[in-house]
Amino acid sequence: MKLLYKIQKSLYVSLLMLFVASGLQASNGGASSIDFTSEAFELAKQRATDEGKLFFVDFYANWCTPCKWMESTTFKDKEVVSTLNTNYVSIKVDIDTKEGFSIKEKYQISVLPTLLIFNSEGELVERVQETLSRSKLMNLLTFHIQKDTKVVQNHYFNQSPNKSANIQAPKEDKYKEYRSTNSNKSTYRIQVGDYNNYEAALRKVTEIREEFLEEIIVLNDYRDGAVWYRVLMGNFGSESEATSFQTILKRDFQIDSIVY
Alpha-carbon distances, residue 136 vs 108, 131, 187 (angstroms):
23, 9, 18
121, amino acid identity: E
- For helices 134-145 and 78-87, the axis angle rounded to 10 degrees is 20
For this structure, is 149 an active site residue?
no
User: Cβ distance 221 to 228 under 8 Å?
Assistant: yes
Is 168 one of the annotated active-site residues of the chain? no
CA distances from 139 to 41, 80, 132, 207, 234 (A): 25, 10, 10, 19, 11
DSSP string, 102-154: HHHHHTT--SSSEEEEE-TTS-EEEEE-S---HHHHHHHHHHHHSGGGGG---
Catalytic residue among 64, 109, 115, 141: 64
> Hey, which residues does 230 pair with through a beta bridge?
194, 219
Is residue 11 a contact partner of residue 58, using CB atoms and an 8 Å limit? Answer: no
From the candidates 34, 48, 54, 67, give the one annotated as an active-site residue: 67
Catalytic machinery residues: 64, 67
